[in-house]
Chain A
Amino acid sequence: MVALLVGMCPGLDEGLLRSLRAADIRTVEDLVSSDIEDLAQKCSVSYKALFAVRRVLLAQHTAFPVSGADLYEELLSSTAILSTGNPSLDKLLDSGLYTGEITELTGGPGSGKSQVCFGVAVHIAYHLKQSVIYIDTTGGLTAGRLLQMLQTETNNRDEQMEALQRIHTFRLFDVCALLDCLYGLSGGGGGGLHMACVGGGSVKALIVDSVSAVIAPLLGGKQNEGMSLMRQVAAALKTMAKDFSVAVLVTNHVTRSGSGEAQPGLGVSWSHVPTTRILLERVESGASGRRSATLIKSSRQACLIKEDFDLQWWSRAEGGRGGGGGGETSGKRKLDETDP
């Protein structure tokens, strides 16, 4: 709903505005959807003038369709794929995290969601040399662990410190602070922090661990603001992903369904928000670092593909690292170390 203001278009002056307000027409939508003849009589304004104003407003505020080919071109030129650093996860994600999309990791306590987020942040900061924004709502962010992971990548202290400086962290514990932070980053707060200022303009990933910790306490019961705030967060994340071309990675908790199966939390309303969802589970047998990841929602691959991987991948010794992924399979451009 856009308010009618003086000077919005030629012909919309104080006098006209006042008479429209008197007729209870306050927004562009009200004006456009009302009967012009009727309105002209009520406000004692000429029909032609009102019609002209309406036409200009319509032209200013309509949406224009874009052809599919143009969209595809735009997508090809603006989307990048960020590898997570772990080949098994990359296989599930169809080469990695896509910018412009929200990817969700869900799992029970101790299933490794935060560890995967650390690993991704370290990989992007060190190998891809891009800035990462890490929003922590669980209190689990331990810089010592990030340093440990970096120490297995390189022994050079300066490089470690440099990579650590590319990870920008926020610690927030309620949803209003989260919204303030997200809008502050996108410059919507009217100044202050802006994505372009953080990391010198090369932020490529935004990690929110976890989004359910701040939203879940607001849902249910007699609280009606919860759903609205959840939608606000979803809208903010989606717009940021698209407008700033960043890959958004969020984590979610699980709830148990009647049969004891694990389901992602935050309900059906949230399930439409992420484009890709992965469920992490502990593998009962095997070493303590092993987890299994199942793809439960994806627009690019068949669902329910399972991959076993090791949480220790991001902190393994030099010798264990194998070669990179295979060649490109389609017109996807993969963001790698060689990009300027």
Chain B
Amino acid sequence: KRAAVSAVRMKRPVSSLSLGSSLKGKLVRAGFQFTTDLQDLNPEHLSAEAGVSQQEALEALQAASSGHGVAPVTALELLQKEEEFRSIVTFCSQLDEALGGGVPVGKVTEICGAPGVGKTQLCLQLAVDVQVPAVFGGLGGQVLFVDTEGGFQVQRLVDLAGAAVRHCSLLAEDEEQRVAMTTFTVETILSNVRCRDYVELLAELHLLADFLSNRPRLRLLVIDSVAFPFLRLHDDLSQRTRLLQGLGLRLIAAATGHNIAVVTTNHMTTRLHSSQAQLAPALGDVWGHAPSIRLLLRWEESRRLASIVKSPAAPHRLHHLSVAVVTEALWMFG
């Protein structure tokens, strides 16, 4: 018979609180090892005991009494939340099927491939697709396109947008859909931001949280490409590793916290694996852990092939699929 759960309460050490390290050092040296020691103390008393300023004492007491963390969400509630947001369709039915409906909202998806295979194309397509009004099965959301390579072509975007608008107007059946068509035009793309190196990219992303909270309709963030600014950081690899990990965390936090789909593109590099050269996504395993879904585009003769090499979905979906592309303008029609 299992024993009843005892009222065990773990004591939280003061050194685990999110305070400055010198403040924590002073508190520990004064004998306050656990947060329970700090309870029932007023700031004047604490600042006298530990030799810290009143301000710091107040900060310490607040940190000690407030750190409970967030409430848990059961998997059932998570499921309901997930079903609320649709995925962003790519208009290529095979790709959409393999991705389970399209590029999912709330996750980081990465598109890898050699130069010229069509990563920027796919990003531009997604930038148009996310704006398809909800009545047509899209998300009706806005997009932020961060371009680090200069591959963003407005004219191409206009072509794709025009094609999407035509496609939807052909489908418009009822009044609601016709009304939606009037607002679905090219001008609704939010902003075209251009960053040149990793410092600018990181700076842009630090401001991202505020930017996102001001724009609740934003549903897609594209970073094309995430590899380019980092490829030149050869001399300090450990710094590059840390920057990439921090970047990955920030993108994931933005994706889940604000319900947006984050799409990044990556280059390919050669990796030596047991004396055999193989093409692998750039930036190494460090970055490889950040995206939840990885899509690999490559050429085979004159066709583009797409394969999903990482996905939280069932493994049987990870089959190689062929994306038959005749001309780029027809991409969206499968």
- A interface list, Cβ under 8 A from B: 1-4, 26-27, 78, 108-110, 114-115, 121, 125, 133-134, 137-148, 161, 164-174, 176-177, 179-196, 198, 201, 210, 212-214, 216-217, 219-221, 224-225, 228-229, 232, 235-236, 239-240, 243-244, 253-256, 260, 287-289, 311-312, 315, 339-340
Contacts and interface: CB of A to CB of B under 8 A. Distances in A.
Given A171-B256, A181-B69, A312-B316, A165 B74 contact: yes
A189 B35 contact: yes
Interface string B50-82: 000000000000001101111111111011011
Nearest to B30: A26
A145 B107 CA distance: 14
Contacts of B64: 190
Main SS of the interface on chain B?
Answer: mixed
B316 A236 contact: no
Nearest to A189: B68
A145 B31 contact: no
Contacts of A168: 72-75
Contacts of A109: 285, 288-289, 294, 310
Given A109-B288, A201-B5, A311-B315, A174 B31 contact: no
Given A110-B310, A139-B292, A244-B8, A165 B2 contact: no
Contacts of B108: 139
Interface of B: 1-5, 7-13, 15-16, 18, 21, 28-37, 39, 64-65, 67-76, 78-79, 81-83, 100, 104, 106-108, 238-239, 241-242, 245-246, 248-250, 252-253, 255-256, 272-274, 284-286, 288-290, 292, 294, 309-310, 312-316, 318-319
Nearest to B250: A173
Contact of A108 (B36, B82, B246, B288): B288
- The 7 A-B pairs with the shortest beta carbon distances in the complex, nearest first, are A3-B31, A109-B288, A192-B68, A289-B315, A181-B69, A143-B79, A139-B252
A198 B274 CA distance: 48
A115 B315 contact: yes
Contacts of A216: 241-242, 245
Residue among B34, B238, B253 with max Cβ neighbours from chain A (10 Å): B253
A280 B150 CA distance: 39
Contacts of A221: 238-239, 242
A1 B238 contact: no
A219 B1 CA distance: 44
Contact of B10 (A144, A243, A254): A243
A187 B75 contact: no
A144 B248 CA distance: 23
A334 to B, nearest CB: 14
26 contacts: A1-B28, A1-B29, A27-B31, A110-B288, A139-B108, A139-B255, A140-B292, A142-B107, A143-B76, A144-B82, A164-B76, A165-B74, A168-B75, A169-B72, A170-B70, A171-B256, A176-B18, A183-B10, A184-B67, A185-B69, A189-B67, A190-B64, A190-B65, A213-B248, A243-B8, A256-B284
Contacts of B238: 220-221
Contact of A312 (B83, B250, B314, B319): B314
A190 B34 CA distance: 11
Contact of A164 (B72, B75, B242, B285): B75
A217 B242 contact: yes
Given A108-B285, A144-B82, A169-B74, A188 B242 contact: no
A182 B68 CA distance: 9
